[in-house]
Amino acid sequence: MTKYVFITGGVVSGIGKGIVASSLGRLLKSHGLQISLLKLDPYINLDPGTMSPYQHGEVFVTEDGAETDLDLGHYERFTDVNLSRRSNLTTGAIYLKVIQKERRGDYLSGTVQVVPHITNAIKDHIKGAASPETDVVITEIGGTVGDIESLPFIEAIRQVRKDFGRDNVLYLHVTWIPYIKAVGELKTKPSQHSVMELRRNGIHPDILVCRTETDLDAGIREKLSVFCDIDKEAVIQCEDVKSIYEVPFMLEKEGLAKQVLQRLKLEPPRQELDWEGWDAWVAHLKKPQQTLKIGLVGKYVQLPDAYLSVTESLRHAAAVRDTDVEIKWIHADEEMEGPEIAAHLEGLDGILVPGGFGVRGVEGKIAAIHYARTRQIPFLGLCLGLQCAVIEYARNVCGLEGAHSAEFAPDAPHLVVDIMPAQRDLENMGGTMRLGAYPCKLREDSQLYKLYGSELIFERHRHRYEVNNDYRENLERNGLMISGTSPDGYLVETIELSGHPYFVATQFHPEFRSRPNRPSPCFQGLIDACLALRASSKTEQKVLS
């Protein structure tokens, strides 16, 4: 029978429940178990797709096109398991489902209530997260214990233990042990109150994972064990580390997987962990031989989580080459013309322009792309980054003055980016979004073909506007390579420039498929081009000296 682990958080938000869930998933998978992960989010939005990244960070896209919480990106990167739309559930989605059933008369004219109707719907979704082959479902409850909006989820997972059986359900609570510098002490009282709040809601945690800046001594662990009524060996320390990818090793050392397996009475297929190359990759990550400086030109750079998958993909590719990445956050709204642009972009090894929606910052992105193209700086454009690259090329190489995108300037004289006729549905703009994995056919003489080693690839999309086919011949005649298209040749998927160290842009989002020990080829190409240029520059300096 499938086992269930429920992860709650206390004391403060942003405590790292997603990393703990991901790390536990990595450990259980390394023991040979089949796992699935689920995030329950208490907000009333149907999904984060309509939220500003400043509100909720990055929108992560699954293979089947679901716009989900960024924690699903952590889950996939840590466990190398492709999740689906069933892996993220919001309060809004649950209430919508229940109300639609009520409108159809499914409840036989009865009064619809939070308990049992909302909680039953939540439990049904949790059950649906498991396939017949699933050994363990790890479910993270968003928010902090005590939040009013989380109560239906807390009540639902309380009932699950009774429904599924005590030996099949485990509660894990992530809490914070603050260090008061003035008195030089760690304080357990916030965690005690957090556990008391959870117990007031009928849940007695089996394991306590303690986020801390410093080592928890035996006295602190004993105190937490006594006052939170948790076995001492189930008080797990999770100390701050330089990289989130070190957390699974720390939790393994603390015995987290052992505790989970014992309490769920699970006998794993493998007693010894198989890290599947994860340990070797982390060893590279911890001992970089050099550092590359990559400029990320975006409109949400005040909140790095808005580009979480992008920055992690850069680190994946760099670590393989024993290299670290220093990201220079460049706000696309800044003055990016004339001599001012050099102040932002000089001294960079590479430039990356990520995706986004809305006109703000577009001209800054276009200016940065022009700089990268004309200065021979390795460049990678993602989604809107490709569209901006096409606009820049159309204006400055093809001579199409005023070239733009229909998204930002529908009256522009040359709409080189537009909604294609085959996709146009002005009555339902949401229906024009391309979401999820789509195929792309690469040219055999392209850089991306060499990087992927395949003609047909699949990558995840999240966009509405496409390169306008009316301008493709002009663009190609002037030297822009359409290196990848949809298999029928109708939609442009990737562009490149010959004779440039690395000038590649994709309509898709390769960052969503990048893994620590299997970096995205697009990002690997960027990192390798930056390293090659640096090496050639050092060689030239030696020759001159």
Which residues participate in catalysis according to the annotation? 383, 509, 511
Q: Phi, psi (5° rounding) for residue 492? A: -75, 130
Pairwise CA distance, residues 444 & 449, whole Å: 6
Q: Tell how strand 207-212 and strand 350-353 pair up.
A: unpaired
CA distances for 180 relative to 15, 213, 228, angstroms: 17, 11, 21
Helix (H, G, I), strand (E, B) or coil at 107: coil
Cα distances from 300 to residues 61, 71, 152, 508, in angstroms, run 18, 18, 33, 19
Listed in sequence order, the residues at least 6 apart from 414 whose beta carbon sits closer than 8 Å to its beta carbon are 394, 400, 401, 402, 403, 404, 471
Q: Do residues 332 and 362 touch, judged by C-beta distance below 8 A?
A: yes
Distance (Å, whole) CA 208 – CA 230: 7
Spatial strand order in the sheet of 290-298: 323-331, 290-298, 350-353, 379-382, 503-506, 492-497, 480-485, 434-442, 456-463
Residue 496's H or E segment, with its range, is strand 492-497
In 364-413, where do the E strands start and end? Answer: 379-382, 403-405
Alpha carbons 372 and 215: distance in angstroms, whole number = 46
- Residue 263 CA: distances (Å) to CA of 36, 274, 292, 501, 514: 19, 22, 45, 55, 33
With beta carbons less than 8 A apart as the criterion, state whether 308 and 337 touch: no
Chain CA centroid to CA 97, Å: 26
